[in-house]
Amino acid sequence: MRIVSVVGTRPQLIKAAALQPALRARHDEVFVDTGQHWDDALAGTFFRELGLARPDHSLAAGGGTHAEQTAAMLLGLEPILQEAAADVVLVYGDTNSTLAGALCAAKLGLPVAHVEAGLRSFDRAMPEELNRLVTDHLSAWCFAPTPTAVANLEREGLGARTWLVGDLMQDIAARVAREVRAPDSLAAVSAVPLGPAELPPLSPGGYLFATIHRAENREPEAVRAWAALLRRVAHPDRPIILPLHPGTLGPLEASGADLGPHVILVEPLGYRSALTLQLHAAAVLTDSGGVQREAAWLGTPCLVLRSSTEWLEAVRESEGGMLVVGLDADAAAVALDRLAPLEAARSLARTRAAALDLSAVGAAEAIANVLADDSPARALARLDARPD
């Protein structure tokens, strides 16, 4: 089949890097980058580092409001899908690029394959939740990463379109984790500070790692809340390393929020550097779904800086090592005192990294095989069938 794959953000590039070799071994792929993460530091390094093929088409549709972004993507994708004579449009995750790819394909009568289908936070104030819901209901192939995702799709009448394939991000994390277990891998981390502060010497358990990028955490009140949280838990002997998305830097500067002297802002990181810093951190603080999963696989304590999460298994199976704390500074401080106490964090981090044995789940092969055994006609017929 001729498959047009649509990506646009760093997490989607990671998933595409895991799937692309298996996909291209069986199918003809046209690779489209919407440019949702338009900054080279955000996306460009991922193509080089992860061995991704360069896009066949780049839309440069980053920036603007959700509506402006999605509209620009729709306008750019329609002629590409038509000229490519696509059989299938494959989309990843829950971004505006995902929604645009699914909508454009559906309007043209093309079947959609959704990688990472079925996730639900049950919070429709999140743009990502709306993107997930719409995309799943437009998709002929819902490739679910977890049993909970399968159950969500079955409850919505989409069981006949659903396959449990596992998580592509675990496959690529397993590949890289073997390279970053040794403590001296921290010396290879490439992190460029933003501003005058210097990056402190990095040692296992000697720092916290944080990421913040969600739309809800760019609102002025939320920015002040998470800045206060980070300021509260940062320590001279355990600073916070915070790679900052360009879309978050602007609201942070506009808010005038004070992060304090022990939160070190750095430019966006490459994949290996980010995974290395997560593995050897005393703990991770994040609002990112991808980082939550990586922390869970690596065994690093994780505080989720949101009021809900779509990755319920990661929380349930962490045995208390992953907690949803929102932007409650008191809750975060109490959790870190329990999960990564200053006096024990270094030893815990070294032990955790030395014992890491992360296995791939074969999600890429599973997805490529399902598509190879199916046809666009059968896929479209599933869309016309009555829900389960």
Could you give the residue numbers annotated as active site?
213
Over the chain, what HEC string results? CEEEEEECCHHHHHHHHHHHHHHHHHCEEEEEECCCCCCHHHHHHHHHHHCCCCCCEECCCCCCCHHHHHHHHHHHHHHHHHHCCCCEEEEECCCHHHHHHHHHHHHCCCCEEEECCCCCCCCCCCHHHHHHHHHHHHCCEEEECCHHHHHHHHHCCCHHHEEECCCHHHHHHHHHHCCCCCHHHHHHCCCCECCCCCCCCCCCCCCEEEECCCHHHHCHHHHHHHHHHHHHHCECCECEEEECCHHHHHHHHHHCCCCCCCEEEECCCCHHHHHHHHHHCCCEEECCHHHHHHHHHHCCCEEECCCCCCCHHHHHCCCCCEEECCCCHHHHHHHHHHHCCCCCHHHHHHHHHHCCCCCCCCHHHHHHHHHHCCCHHHHHHHHHCCCC
Q: How far apart are CA 276 and CA 298, in angstroms?
A: 10
How far apart CA 81 and CA 3 sit, in angstroms, is: 10
Strands 240-243 and 57-58: unpaired
What's the Cα-to-Cα distance from 236 to each of 84, 194, 233, 239, rounded to whole Å?
A: 56, 19, 10, 6
Q: Two tokens at 92?
A: 């990843």
CA distances to 53, 67, 117, 284 from 244, rounded to whole Å, are 26, 24, 27, 14
Q: Kindly give the interhelix angle for 289-298 and 10-26, rounded to the nearest 10 degrees.
A: 80
Round the CA-based radius of gyration of the chain to a whole number and report it.
Answer: 20
